[in-house]
């Protein structure tokens, strides 16, 4: 089934640095979403980017979408300890009736 | 604002036992979902309900049943639990189906011995 795959699987950076995570998918999409999951909690929606958009910002988050390469990136600027979490991309399925999650990137911020 | 509430938070079952996981949302959302999350595999959709009165299978429905009791509540039932169903189960809801952002509960951690 169509699925976003995040890269890298794990990322460890120093507090204050920028973190970049990538998501690749297989077939055409209507939109792509990014979610965050803190340890032991449910997922929290961060941002949605539509297929006709190339870039979107929300606070310290910047998401880009390249439909020609079937890929998206999530940039977190000036990272903080509270950004330590797993990050998932999600794409709509072929029927656009539901979304499919990738396996996530585990981000650790070192103090 | 409670959002999506799941009960119980933790449960241990023996193989062959049955149980129902409960989920309720107070956001007046039309669509609700059940996922399971296993290490390194992300979330996989078990069942979803696009609107009150409808349910559909997701990617991994075998061994599960669901009931959309009303607009607020969507339950997941394991009729005869198996060790392979040990997982963390998440309920989610969205305004409508399809590509809308989903709101998640904090999960039920289920162990089958």
> How many A×B Cβ pairs under 8 Å?
57
Location of structure tokens 């977190």: A76
Determine the pLDDT at residue A6. Answer: 86
C-beta atoms of B90 and A31 within 8 A:
no
Give A10's contacts (C-beta < 8 A, 6+ positions apart): A105, A106, A107, A108
Which B residues 50-89 touch A at CB under 8 Å? 50, 56, 58-59
pLDDT < 50: residue spans in chain A: 1-2
Segment B1-19 shows an average pLDDT of 94
Q: Which residue of B has its CA nearest to A31?
A: B99
C-beta atoms of A102 and B42 within 8 A:
yes
How far is the C-alpha of B29 from the C-alpha of B109, rounded, in Å? 24
Burial B67-79 (b: 16+ CB within 10 A, else e): ebeebbbbbbebe
Can you point out the beta strands (E) in B26-106?
A: 31-37, 43-49, 56-57, 64-68, 74-78, 87-94, 103-104
Segment B11-35 shows an average pLDDT of 97
The model's confidence at residue B27, banded by pLDDT at 50, 70 and 90, is very high
pLDDT digits (tens, 9 = 90+) for B42-100: 899 999 999 999 999 999 999 999 999 899 999 999 999 999 999 999 999 999 877 78
How far is the C-alpha of B80 from the C-alpha of A70, rounded, in Å? 41
Determine the pLDDT at residue B1. Answer: 63
């Amino acid at each position: 089934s169509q699925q976003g795959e995040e890269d890298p699987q794990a990322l460890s950076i120093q507090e204050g640095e920028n973190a970049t995570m990538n998501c690749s998918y297989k077939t055409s999409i209507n939109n792509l979403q990014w979610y965050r999951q803190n340890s032991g909690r449910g997922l929290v929606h961060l941002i949605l980017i539509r297929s006709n958009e190339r870039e979107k910002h929300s606070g310290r988050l910047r998401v880009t979408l390249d439909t020609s390469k079937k890929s998206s990136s999530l940039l977190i600027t000036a990272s903080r300890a509270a950004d330590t979490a797993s990050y998932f991309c999600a794409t709509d399925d072929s029927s656009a009736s539901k979304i499919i999650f990738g396996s996530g990137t585990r981000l650790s911020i070192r103090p | 604002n409670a959002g999506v509430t799941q009960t119980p938070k933790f449960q241990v079952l023996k193989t062959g036992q049955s149980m129902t996981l409960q989920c309720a949302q107070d956001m007046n959302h039309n669509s609700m979902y059940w996922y399971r999350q296993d290490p390194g595999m992300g979330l996989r959709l078990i069942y979803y309900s696009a609107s009150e009165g409808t349910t559909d299978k997701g990617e991994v429905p075998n061994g599960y049943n669901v009931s959309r009791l009303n607009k607020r509540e969507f339950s997941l039932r394991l009729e005869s639990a198996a060790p392979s169903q040990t997982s963390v189960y998440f309920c989610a809801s969205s305004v409508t189906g399809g590509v809308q952002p989903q709101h998640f509960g904090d999960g039920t951690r289920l162990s089958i011995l």
